[in-house]
Structure 1
Amino acid sequence: MSRITPVPLSELPDATRKSLAYAEEIMGFTPNDVLAMAHWPELLGAMEQLVAVIYKPGALDPVLKRLIATITSGAAGCRYCQAHTAHGAAKMAGGDAEKIAAVWEYQTSDLFSDAERAALDLALAAGTQPNAATDEHFRALEQHFSRQQIMEIMGVISLFGFLNRWNDTLATELEDKPMEFASETYSSDVWEAGRHARS
């Protein structure tokens, strides 16, 4: 159970309902972390703007954005965000189900390109504590991505640095849709891959 009870839908002010509607649009369900954040409407509004900038169509493939978020969240140990982003990669961004299921095998799977491996290597290193990103990670990125694409990769990683801390600290309750997706997509061993990758 969440350490801060989410604001009931019936008590949301109109301005906050707009933020909730945006979250539902990009996620496909009502997220409990947004309802908890609704206790501080200014923070929720600022988060909506940040998410809109990072997730809007840009130079980086939208499925890769979600997979970067999945790896970052898994490395940080945030199962709430890992389930959300894997669900989003499939259901909202139209990603290939086999590839999403194999995300923790990205370093060896033929489903992933060298460019994707470089981005996901950085995501894994950056999600680990202490941060394990190196100059070599960026040299690898520069072989495949433009400066704008690298900025978008960093935007996703950094956004989930905040969301991983928020949701893990509050013990935010995982909603049915992402829970069902994660349960159907990942074995328990794969679900724990992020934790094992950090050790």
Structure 2
Amino acid sequence: MARIEGVPAGQASLMTKLAYRFGPKMMEKLTGRAPQTGTGLEPMTIWAHSPKMMMAMGKFNGPMRKGSSVPQRLQHLVELKGAAMIGCEYCTDLGSQICRNSGFSDEELLAITHYSTSKLFTAQEKAALDFTVGFMRTPVQISDLVFATARQHFSNQQLVEIAGLLTVVNLDRFNAAFGIGSAGFSQGMVCVPPERSAECLSELHGLTTDGIRPGQ
């Protein structure tokens, strides 16, 4: 359950009500499946506390994902890896199903966490994933070698578009901050798990970074 309640349809602005109405159809088109444990609109209902920001996000997100010269498979791949790195449960649940609906196998989804040693991804895909890992770190850590390798596989336009897409993915920290969990798009199926740092896992379980509970 999210840390704050979303705005119910009865209290929403006119534009927000329209977004609530058409949102599920758009989500089902992307995923090929209705969410099993939620509405799928959980992030939108939280953003709806600030309707202007919610609309601005929609206007920003659309163009960043459409008309790209980057193959769709690659877009989905880097977006899912980026979502896993920021620990967004909603995003990895949704992203796993979007990938599956677009042709990814369960084996490929499971291999994303260890992509560098997997034979399921091409050299181009691994270059994009290396770029993604460096981009999503805080601070950004893209080495000259990683960038040079990416340039061997992508045009300047494509690099800009990949970076732009990952910038959008970074905005999904919003979901993680508000504790927006899985909506069940991938329920009962393979789902890429959110990645957790040692510090984050320790905080979740009330442990210090060496695995000891405070006071022990």
**TM range, normalised to the smaller chain?**
0.7 to 0.9
Of residues 155, 161, 172, the one that matches 1:152 is: 161
Closer, same or farther: CA 138–197 of 1 in aligned 2, 3 Å: farther
Percent of aligned pairs with the same residue?
A: 25
The reply to whether residue 16 of structure 1 matches residue 23 of structure 2 is no
- 8 Å Cα contact 1:19-1:48 kept in structure 2: no
Q: Give the aligned partner of residue 123 of structure 1.
A: 132
Q: Superposition pairs for residues 1-199 of structure 1, below 5 Å?
A: 1-20=1-20, 21-22=22-23, 24-26=25-27, 27-28=30-31, 30-91=40-101, 93-163=102-172, 165-178=173-186, 180=187, 184-186=189-191, 191=193, 194-195=195-196
Aligned residues between the structures: 190
> How far apart are the structure 2 equivalents of 1:50 and 1:64?
20
Cα pair distance change 1:10/1:162, threshold 3 Å = same
CA distance in 2, matches of 1:98, 1:6: 36
Cα separation, 1, equivalents of 2:2 and 2:120: 37
Instruction: Check the 8 A contact 2:13/2:51 in 1, yes or no.
Output: no
On the 8 A contact 1:78/1:168 being kept in 2, the answer is yes
Q: How much does 1:89 deviate?
A: 1.6
TM-superposed deviation, 1:132: 1.8
Contact 1:76 1:129 in 2 (8 A): no
Deviates more, 1:114-123 or 1:167-176: 167-176
Q: CA deviation at 1:196?
A: 6.2
Residue 90 of structure 1 contacts residue 97 of structure 1 at CA under 8 Å; is this kept in 2? yes
Unaligned runs of 5+ in 1: none
Q: Which moved more, 1:106-115 or 1:130-139?
A: 130-139
Whose Rg is larger? 2
Question: 1:59: Cα distance to partner?
Answer: 0.5
Q: Any conservation in 1 of the 2:111–2:118 contact (CA below 8 Å)?
A: yes
Question: Which deviations, in whole Å up to 9, do the C-alpha atoms of 1:29-64 show, x marking residues without a partner?
Answer: 532111111111111111111211122142111222
RMSD over equivalenced CA pairs, Å: 2.6
Instruction: After the TM superposition, list the runs of 4 or more consecutive aligned residues in structure 1 that deviate by more than 4 angstroms.
Output: 26-29, 196-199
Length-normalised TM-score, structure 2:
0.76
Cα distance, 1:109–1:43 mapped onto 2, change above 3 Å: same
- Residues of 1 paired with 2:99 and 2:85: CA distance? 17
SS at match of 2:185: helix
* CA–CA separation in structure 2 for the residues paired with 1:153 and 1:58: 9
Q: CA shift at 1:170, angstroms?
A: 0.5
Distance 1:136 1:197, change over 3 A: farther
Structure with the higher fraction of residues in helix conformation: 1
TM-score, with length taken from structure 1: 0.82
